[in-house]
Amino acid sequence: MNEHDVRILRHERLSDGHLKLEAYEIEHRRFDGSWMEKIRREVVRRGAAVAVMLYDPQRDTVVLIEQFRIGAYMAKRSSPWLTEIVAGLVEPGEDPAAVARRETLEEAGCEILDLVPLYDYIVTPGCLDETVTMFCGRVDSSKAGGHHGLAHEGEDIRVMVKSFDEAWAELHAGGLDNSIAVIGMLWLKINREELRRRWI
């Protein structure tokens, strides 16, 4: 089945703030070919994003960032300051690789030396239209650290450099508890030796 098996009966914009919230009344085909009765669904319109797992093969380190997240606060996590990987939204007409380079500079103060595409996936398709294009970026972690982010976007980002083993232990201890960071670390665990052969 595809988009032709969905009918939009009604659309309503509920919120036009930092996030765009919309409501839809729809009907769609069932697997047996018949049409399901009308249902109502709300969706947060977020759009396309890019995430970058930053890795220094020379030092076997990863560059992570930490910042406050309202969702983690509302979910009653142990701390609403999350350890994450670099990520940002794609503006209309932007190339995802260019966004990866821009966000890495803005959020971590690093220049990407090489970029490997990983995945393109939907984050939470039950209520969110956000897609993530993920990369692994080679960086020189000796130049990483400090505080970054754009003040006009309300960002206050702390940059951390950790050995791969430290970051992997943190993942297993529950300190990396957001999906983008987990996916990036799992990919790096599987592909780390190949990256080191290619990049060193």
List, by residue number, the catalytic residues: 153
How far apart, in Å, are the Cα atoms of 90 and each of 14, 15, 44, 189?
A: 23, 21, 16, 27
3 state SS of 94: coil
Tell me, letter by letter, the H, E, C secondary structure of 23-48.
EEEEEEECCCCCECCCEEEEEEECCE
Per-residue tokens: 148: 């970054």
86 vs 53: CA distance, rounded Å: 7
